[in-house]
Structure 1
Amino acid sequence: MMKVRVLSAFSAGLMSLCVATGATGQNISEMDVTLGTSASANGLSGVLDQLMGMEAASLSGLSANRLRQIGSAFDARRARDDNRIMDAAGLDALRAPRGGAQWRCLTEALYFEARGEPIEGQYAVAEVILNRVDAANYPNSICGVIDQGTGRQFACQFTYTCDGQSEEMTDRTAMHRLGHIARIMIDGAPRDLTAGATHYHANWVNPRWASVYPRTTEIGIHRFYRQQY
């Protein structure tokens, strides 16, 4: 049974590689079935040799650029599973993100508040929103935090919700990337960029509270602050 498990794990990994490279995994499945019914040490060695040969053959026909793309995709998937901050290349290598209403609200907020910011700045804005969700004196949902004050002139917490401009996300690349950041942060990525910030502002404005709350960091055009309760 141990030998079969080892082969299954190896072949599963090779199957993923075959999918990434466009090769077929039919022969791998056939080898698994054969070994599962009759697994001798010699048989295992022979099948592993064949599998490794298939792996080498799959890789040998790929261009250097395609190999880099595959490597980036696997690195991105691993980083996502570990809830680590990922760079733009890693995020772009992932499949289209998905989520419910709270995820959509966070994606939209990041799009209109931070899409022109560096990656760390985009994660930082997500931190602020989620820090507010956790704070007692703010709404306890992402959508609630983002929409707080919307509909009252000069009372909205996030400018894009009451500036009268279209809220249609037209940049598909940015939406894809920010959707992944929203997904990663909602799924529990560490919030260690802003030291618990609950506020931020662009560096060309000077809101009244900026002289009251301690500044925690500055990333891109945004300065971050932590509200004192």
Structure 2
Amino acid sequence: MAEAKSTHTIKKGETLSSISDQYAIPTAAIKRSNQLSSNNIVAGESLTIPTSVSANEKELLARLVHAEAKGEPYAGKVAVATVVLNRVDSDLFPDNVNDVVYERSASGHYAFSPVLDGSISNKADSESIRAVEEALQFRGQGQNSLYFYNPATATSKWVSTREQTLVIGDHVFAK
């Protein structure tokens, strides 16, 4: 099970790198969660530590990436995984991968179509697993995308109103 977001009080001699190692969370993710523009930290101040991702959640995320981005370029698979991690790190969404993947809207619809159609249960391929590992390694970097969609198949018009961050293959990413 993933840990909830936690707070870390900086001790004398600690660096962002040592705190990153302690929690197994990339430095960039800690910086992003705390809106830090540099690596300078001060003893006695508190940092919000993003949620860690368990082995089971990595596997779930890889299955989601496989189902959502099958046939898409590798960079698109990494970007899909990154959207989920960005949601975990955002105050607008649940605090762990499982809850983000299975989240329902106010109208009862799942956020991700593979949950609805059952393809989330299919085994992930090695490229999707590798894409999840890369997204985790670079967590906190990138375009801060919280959404992605395929304009040719999207049923929600709302998502197209979001600020577009990039396009990879058939997917548009937005925040």
Superposition TM-score tier, normalisation by shorter sequence: 0.5 to 0.7
Contact 2:74 2:127 (8 Å CA) reproduced: no
In structure 2, the partner of 1:176 is: 126
In structure 2, the partner of 1:218 is: 167
* Pairs within 5 Å for 1:136-151: 136-149=91-104
Alpha-carbon separation, structure 1, partners of 2:55 and 2:173: 28
Closer, same or farther in 2 for the Cα pair 1:208/1:103, shift >3 Å?
A: same
Closer, same or farther in 2 for the Cα pair 1:175/1:157, shift >3 Å?
A: same
Closer, same or farther in 2 for the Cα pair 1:164/1:177, shift >3 Å?
A: closer
- Residue correspondences, number: 122
In structure 1, the partner of 2:121 is: 167
In structure 1, the partner of 2:136 is: 186
Q: Deviations over 1:147-182 (max 9, x none)?
A: 1129x986100001012457222xxxx611211221
Alpha-carbon separation, structure 1, partners of 2:66 and 2:107: 22
In structure 2, the partner of 1:15 is: none
In structure 1, the partner of 2:147 is: 199
Closer, same or farther in 2 for the Cα pair 1:184/1:165, shift >3 Å?
A: closer
Sequence identity of aligned pairs in percent?
Answer: 24
More strand by share: 2
Q: Tell me, yes or no, if structure 1 residue 109 matches structure 2 residue 64.
A: yes
SS of 1:191's equivalent in the other structure is coil
Normalising by structure 1, we get a TM-score of 0.48
Alpha-carbon separation, structure 1, partners of 2:64 and 2:119: 14
SS of 1:143's equivalent in the other structure is helix
Contact 1:133 1:145 (8 Å CA) reproduced: yes
Q: Which residue identity does 2:66 align to in structure 1? A: Y
TM-superposed deviation, 1:102:
1.2
Contact 1:197 1:225 (8 Å CA) reproduced: yes
Aligned pair partner of 1:158 in 101, 112, 122? 112
Alpha-carbon separation, structure 2, partners of 1:217 and 1:124: 10
Aligned pair partner of 1:135 in 90, 99, 103? 90
Alpha-carbon separation, structure 1, partners of 2:68 and 2:113: 8
